[in-house]
Amino acid sequence: MGLAPEGDAEDDHAGEGNNAARNNKAEGADDLSNITVTILGCSGTYAEAGGACTGYLVQSEGANVLLDAGPGVVAQLQQHIALEELTAVVTTHCHPDHWAELPVLRNALQYCLGIRGVQTYGTAETETLFKAIVGAHGTDELGPAMPWTTITTGSTFTIADQRWSFLRTDHPVETLAPRVDVGDKSFVFSSDTGPDVDFAEFGPGIDLFLCEASLSVEDEGLAPHVSGREAGLLAKAAEAQRLVLTHFVPRVDVEAHREAAEIAYGARVEVAEIGAAFVI
Ligand SMILES: [Zn+2]
Ligand SMILES: [Zn+2]
């Protein structure tokens, strides 16, 4: 099953009413090749001291997109762009370490900054929880700041020059790994997943693969996540050109995860750190 994006956007209104990203590029934007992925938070389950849960800033010439919004991410996001420059938000699943900052981001946009139209994407389960927290349960609208679009496996859309597509992962709730294409560059994020997933289904040409590595090799199979070793195997099977590990549960031995990944992947493996930027 090929899920490489065709550019057949079902939804191309992200960013309307918010031209800041196009007119006011983020600091460092001159260095943008096609895609820059900046780590806003790389802790899994809960955040380490001084850290943040899952969140990444996906920047291109045309858009600044927040990918996942775990606790602590809004503070980190503002280290890189003003909230007025945010084009859209994409969340991968309803576990709180990936989206629980959405209501707080909505507070900022809707009540403090008067920003409208930051298109927000996520699964149906995430929408239900988000609406419950902000008191919009049972209504169609979350308000003008963050209009919602429900996505599922096979959804495709464009955000300015970014083409997004999704693959269901091996995780207990509906979890969608995104592939982002800009020009001829491609970025894939595993979101959370067990080992029973094949990112080659996204098609060829993955330049940067950001893969979770929650487990130690000894704990493989004990939770619906992968180890560094398994992340390396997933990256190798997908023929990804570059592998970065993320989603570290606090107190794990990150270097041991990286070493296990390198052996399985057969090439150099990098690890996510808050503030690090990966340019492709
Ligand atoms: Zn997670
Ligand atoms: Zn999860």
What is the DSSP annotation of 131-142? HHHHT-TTSS--
What is the dihedral angle through the alpha carbons of 80, 126, 206, 1, rounded to the nearest 10 degrees?
-160
pLDDT exceeds 50 at position 230: yes
Mean pLDDT of 195-215: 97
Ligand that lies nearest to the alpha carbon of residue 68, given by its number in the listed order: 1
Give residue 171's pLDDT band: very low, low, confident or very high (50, 70, 90): very high
pLDDT exceeds 90 at position 1: no
* CA–CA separation, 232 and 238 (whole Å): 10
Beta bridge partners of 56: 39, 67
pLDDT digits (tens, 9 = 90+) for 25-49: 444 445 446 999 999 999 999 999 9
Task: Find the 47 Cα to ligand 2 centroid distance in Å.
Answer: 14
Assign domain 36-279 to a CATH class: alpha beta
Q: What residues have a C-beta under 5 A from ligand 2, the ion?
A: 95, 192
Q: Output the pTM of the full model.
A: 0.89
Task: Find the 65 Cα to ligand 2 centroid distance in Å.
Answer: 20
For the chain, which residues make up each domain, given as ranges?
36-279
Mean pLDDT of 119-143: 87
Give residue 136's pLDDT band: very low, low, confident or very high (50, 70, 90): confident
Q: Which helix (H) or strand (E) holds 97?
A: helix 96-99
Helix (H, G, I), strand (E, B) or coil at 265: helix
Beta bridge partners of 211: 245
Task: Find the 71 Cα to ligand 2 centroid distance in Å.
Answer: 14
The values of phi and psi at residue 152, to 5°, are -150, 180
Q: Which residues contact 204 (CB under 8 A, 6 or more apart)?
A: 4, 239
pLDDT exceeds 50 at position 183: yes
pLDDT exceeds 70 at position 8: no
Mean pLDDT over the full length of the chain: 90
Say which DSSP state 147 is in: -
Task: Find the 67 Cα to ligand 1 centroid distance in Å.
Answer: 13
Say which DSSP state 173 is in: S
pLDDT exceeds 90 at position 162: yes
* CA–CA separation, 260 and 274 (whole Å): 22
Mean pLDDT of 89-95: 98
Based on C-alpha coordinates, what's the Rg of the chain? 17
Ligand that lies nearest to the alpha carbon of residue 172, given by its number in the listed order: 2
